[in-house]
Structure 1
């Protein structure tokens, strides 16, 4: 007669958990929470950092931490919702030399590739359409998962002159630097 080992029930329990583990880990974040998300930027004017943000943008996201290469993202920004620090600055950037809002009211990014970098860091490539110019851009982002949700923080350095933003006298990079650092923070929950 074979006697059951005292640890046999524990082994059966652990084997059951191992079978369930892939299902428990499968989470795809796709529900962006706009009220808890933000799109900010910083540029330098005469060497001094100037912050700003956009009040309205739409983000679409599909991200499974177990399969990051299959992730996709798209963003559409209402350029008229800019807050560049003052009503005067907002009026200036609406003009033809900057965003030319009557002709180009939005900017759009669509991802084409996501690559893991390690340590919850990723690289995303895609195309950005801004002021009628389409360019490939590369951003990095981090993901922090907690309490059934994820916070995505992305940084994207842009050269504004590549998109024709800040033409004429504003093309002088000693007044306004060419580089604009864009920072996006999204709060997302799993899809239903």
Structure 2
């Protein structure tokens, strides 16, 4: 008859290994907008330009054990744009650009999440800007740190898809490709 201790050790190992995935499950349901950031880059007259959006709200429901059920929504106050100069910020509020009088916010709302492995996800969602909605896919990297998760991602948005920069700006003065980068910080729940 084999000794009892190896059976006990094997049973204990199975129980411990069986509980490990639950020990690593993390939920993120709040966003720290103060620590988060949304920035963009584009080309104007052949030079690279950089800007940020200072005000935005975000909701998040993300469980690392069930990422396919995740949901996120981001609402950006377009008047909070900082394109590096006050005259540029004023120009971007006008009807040829964001038309913030009629469309004060841009929203992105997820419709699906696919886990790609190694803390990488593909988020599909709808971007609504200037009253137009387009489906986009965004690759996101989750960087778990001490009691927080940092969701880093970037996407290229075609400004002409949303009629941004109409009239005299419709030519190649400003690039059609606008690279948007975000860093969303969320505490573990």
TM range (shorter): over 0.9
8 Å Cα contact 1:139/1:157 also seen in 2: no
Gaps of 5+ in 2: none
* Aligned position for 2:123: 124
DSSP 3-state at the match of 1:108: strand
Query: Quick one: distance in 2 between partners of 1:18 and 1:56?
Result: 44
Alignment map for 1:7-46 (pairs within 5 Å): 7=6, 10-46=9-45
Query: Quick one: distance in 1 between partners of 2:117 and 2:4?
Result: 42
DSSP 3-state at the match of 1:104: coil
* Aligned position for 1:67: 66
Shift of 1:129: 0.7
Query: TM-score, with normalisation over the residues of structure 1?
Result: 0.91
RMSD, aligned α-carbons: 1.7
How many residue pairs get matched?
A: 189
* Aligned position for 2:179: 181
* Aligned position for 1:162: 161
Shift of 1:120: 2.0
Shift of 1:9: 5.5
Single out whichever of 83-92 and 66-75 deviates more from structure 2: 66-75
Query: Quick one: distance in 2 between partners of 1:4 and 1:170?
Result: 82
Shift of 1:180: 0.2
Alignment map for 1:98-177 (pairs within 5 Å): 98-173=97-172, 175-177=173-175
Shift of 1:5: 4.7
Shift of 1:135: 1.0
Single out whichever of 6-15 and 96-105 deviates more from structure 2: 6-15
Shift of 1:7: 4.8
Shift of 1:21: 2.1
